[in-house]
Amino acid sequence: MDNEREEIERARRLPFEETSNFDNGVYRYHLGDEMITAISAQTWAGFTSFLSRTTSEDKFIVSPELMTFTGQPLGEVDQTREIIGVRVGEIKEASKNYSQTLYLLGTPTFPPRGKPRNSVLFIKNGREVGQTNKRSGATPAEREHFDLLVEEPAALVPETDIGILICADLPTASIFGLKNEEEILRLIGRESFIGKNPTFIHPKARNLLVVSCWGVGGNRDLMRPGEANAYYLAQLRGVVAHIMRMYPQIEEVLHVDQVPLMRKEDLPFTPTHPFNALFQRKK
């Protein structure tokens, strides 16, 4: 009974109402004035299977982070370039069937020089019509194998008031403006941000779409084996609450997620389900 009362009190203090779907699947959410079709999957085969359930009525179809590169260590991203290219091509081809639909695909991209980038491609009617890139990494492996663009311009989903962020950029955005931001940035391995003035959230954004693979990079000193679901969900809720307090113009946050594939020894500290959720500011 005491635990139930504590849970009710915690929920009362949060600045949002939450609609959650903690499983793989196809989910449709009203985000501001738009309907977003979110596909949560752990594998490319699962994602393309769910994609077959969409229709021409789906105006925006969104994948989780790095959807074209699942089930492999980040160090293999360069070796997987050809397969990733084929998968991006599959979505371009599929998009021709629904010429008015915008697909937002989480994928590695490969610039002419330098390391791969962790990106979201905007694909419509067979063509790439835009791209945004991740600024911060949650783990040393991500920072080693990807070029993270600290001063990437803030992006909007085209023709909407929806800002878009990729996973760790959401909590990183919540750090700026704090009195001890430099100390926090050092503690969490984001020294590259010190002295910079990144813009995470577009000034015209009134809602946020977060494309994610959330359950990585947590502080294992703060969770016991088997507690990852509760830990990462509390972390997500706390970050969204802080973002809403920092950015009073943001009304809603939609989080589209996949569960990371981890080594066997990491499984006790890895979530068993994704955290797909719509957070709507309380009126």
Any residues with CB less than 8 A from the CB of 267 and at least 6 apart, and which? none
Domain membership of residue 8 (yes or no) is no
Domain membership of residue 11 (yes or no) is no
The beta strands (E) that lie in 63-161 are given as: 102-109, 117-124, 127-133
Per-residue pLDDT tens digits for 53-109: 999 999 999 999 999 999 889 999 999 999 999 999 999 999 999 999 999 999 999
Q: What CATH number is given to the structural domain containing 213?
A: 3.60.110.10
Per-residue pLDDT tens digits for 44-59: 999 999 999 999 999 9
Domain membership of residue 7 (yes or no) is no
Per-residue pLDDT tens digits for 102-134: 999 999 999 999 999 999 999 999 999 999 999
What is the tally of structural domains in the chain? 1
Domain membership of residue 2 (yes or no) is no
- Taking alpha carbons only, the member of 276, 273, 278, 222 closest to residue 254 is 278
Domain membership of residue 108 (yes or no) is yes
Q: Is 232 exposed, middle or buried (0-12, 13-18, 19+ CB in 10 A)?
A: buried
pTM to 2 decimal places:
0.93
210: left (phi over 0), alpha (psi -120 to 50) or beta: beta
Which domain does 60 fall in, by range?
16-281
Q: In angstroms, rounded to a whole number, what is the distance separating the alpha carbons of residues 62 and 34?
A: 13
CA angle 106, 244, 230 (to 5 degrees): 65
DSSP string, 21-90: E-SSEEEEEEETTEEEEEEE-SSHHHHHHHHTT--TT-SEEE--TTTTS-SS-GGGTTTTHHHHHHHHHH
Domain membership of residue 10 (yes or no) is no
Window from 3-12, 157-166, 208-217 with minimum mean pLDDT: 3-12
Q: In the chain, what is the greatest distance between 2 CA atoms, to the nearest angstrom?
A: 59
Q: How confident is the model at residue 185 (pLDDT cuts 50, 70, 90)?
A: confident
Domain membership of residue 59 (yes or no) is yes
| Tokens read off for 94 | 């599929």
Domain membership of residue 4 (yes or no) is no
